């Protein structure tokens, strides 16, 4: 196994490493326990998409220096395909589901880019509310996640290009906060309209 790793071209190893960093960050318990992201297949998918978007957005500013966007998206697709098959989705249904995943990624990326580009935290909270929480109005966790995302985009801008390209970086830790309404039980993080 280790020999296989070292035989891989370094670019492939870097993509695997970067994707591992993205998935590990997307699984941070604070997003689900404190921010209220639904701890479901869909919620975890949305957190991977968010962090993949942030990384690709940061690296796209390097022009020809990176080129990691498409290989990372391809790695994401391989991961999603494998997850669908593990969940028992039939071979005939996988391509349709994969198309929906791709559409979701590009749609969310466009919404996030628009809000980040305008430096509009309210617009970003609305985009998070719709895409991650499935709501039109932002629940408290959407604002927390929007603030985290904006701060993370800024932190990624300050990171060394070479470290980012080889996967030797870490996303900022999400702030651990008490979820608004958690004590009184009036905040249902899994509720959908």
Q: What is the pLDDT of residue 189?
A: 42
Per-block average pLDDT, block size 10, for the chain (193 residues)? 50 87 95 93 92 92 60 82 70 72 87 86 91 91 93 94 91 79 41 36
Q: What is the pLDDT of residue 99?
A: 81
CA distance 175 to 192: 24
Long-range Cβ pairs for the range 5-14 (8 Å, 24+) = 10/166, 11/71, 12/71, 14/68, 14/165, 14/166, 14/167
CA 174 to chain centroid, in Å, comes to 13
Q: In the numeric block, which tokens belong to residue 32?
A: 């689900």
Spell out a b/e string for 58-79, using b for 16 or more CB atoms within 10 Å of the CB, else e: bbeeeeeebebeebbbebbeee
CA distance 70 to 18: 13
Number of alpha carbons in the 13 Å side-chain half-sphere of residue 81: 11
115 within 8 A of 54, measured Cβ to Cβ: no
Structural domain spans, the chain:
12-59+66-165
Q: What is the pLDDT of residue 94?
A: 65
CA distance 39 to 95: 25
The length of the chain is 193
Indicate whether this model's pTM tops 0.85: no
159 within 8 A of 167, measured Cβ to Cβ: no
Q: Hey, CA dihedral for 47, 49, 52, 57, is it positive or negative?
A: negative
Q: What is the pLDDT of residue 186?
A: 37
């Amino acid at each position: 196994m280790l020999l296989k790793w070292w035989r891989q071209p370094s670019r492939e190893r870097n993509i695997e490493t970067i994707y591992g960093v993205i998935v590990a960050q997307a699984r941070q318990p604070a997003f689900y326990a404190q921010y209220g992201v639904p701890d479901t297949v869909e919620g975890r998918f949305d957190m991977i998409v968010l962090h993949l978007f942030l990384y690709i957005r940061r690296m796209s500013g390097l022009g020809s220096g990176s080129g990691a966007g498409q290989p990372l998206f391809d790695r994401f697709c391989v991961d999603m395909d494998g997850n669908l098959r593990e969940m028992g989705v039939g071979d005939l249904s996988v391509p349709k589901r994969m198309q929906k995943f791709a559409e979701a990624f590009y749609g969310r990326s466009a919404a996030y880019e628009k809000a980040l580009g305008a430096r509009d935290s309210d617009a970003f909270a609305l985009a998070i509310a719709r895409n991650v929480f499935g709501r039109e109005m932002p629940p408290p966790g959407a604002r927390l996640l929007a603030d985290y995302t904006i701060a993370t985009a800024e932190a990624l801008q300050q990171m060394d290009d070479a470290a980012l390209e080889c996967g030797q970086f870490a996303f900022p830790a999400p702030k651990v906060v008490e979820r608004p309404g958690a004590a009184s039980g009036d905040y249902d993080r899994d509720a959908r309209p």
